[in-house]
Amino acid sequence: MAQNSLAEAVPLTQEPQQRPNIEQPQRRAQPQSAPQQNPRGNKLPVSKFEKCLMTVLGLMLACMMVLVVSSKISLSNAQHNLQSVNSQVTTYQNHNTNDQQQINELQSRSRLDKIAKKQGLNLENARIRNVNR
């Protein structure tokens, strides 16, 4: 703030001097709507530490961005591999189900009876034994 000519000389003694009947000067308030003459003149210069700090933080930010992008790519590749493995599992399950159904059809009682009749064999219940382990 600009100094005005209303300042008083202060004595170097420890005891304050009192002056009766001296009025303290009133400060004039500057209007706040007055435009500043040079808005760039009020900025402080950037120190070397602040420049280094901004550089380090900028590099860290750039590294984090690269890390996020590479993580997204890795996640996408992993999802693609998982999807292909799931489709292979589904294919093998379908093959297993079809093979199990075919095995059950080949082992069916009616099919075995048809083959036995073609070969001239007959089924006598008196000759059948059940064996349990």
Q: What is the mean pLDDT of the chain?
A: 82
In a domain, residue 115? The reply is yes
Is residue 51 one of the residues assigned to a domain? no
Tokens of 58: 């900028």
**Domain extent at residue 115:** 91-121
Q: Which of 38, 42, 7, 13 is nearest to 25 (CA)?
A: 7
> Is 95 within a domain?
yes
33: left (phi over 0), alpha (psi -120 to 50) or beta: alpha
pLDDT in tens, 37-95: 555 567 888 999 999 999 999 999 999 999 999 999 999 999 999 999 999 999 999 99
Mean pLDDT of 14-31: 60
What number is the average pLDDT over the span 17-34? 60
Residue of 42 and 102 predicted with greater confidence:
102
Residue 47 lies in a domain: no
Q: Tell me how many domains the chain contains.
A: 1
Between CA 55 and CA 52 the distance in angstroms is 5
Confirm whether 98 is domain-assigned.
Answer: yes
Q: Where is pLDDT greater, at 71 or 33?
A: 71
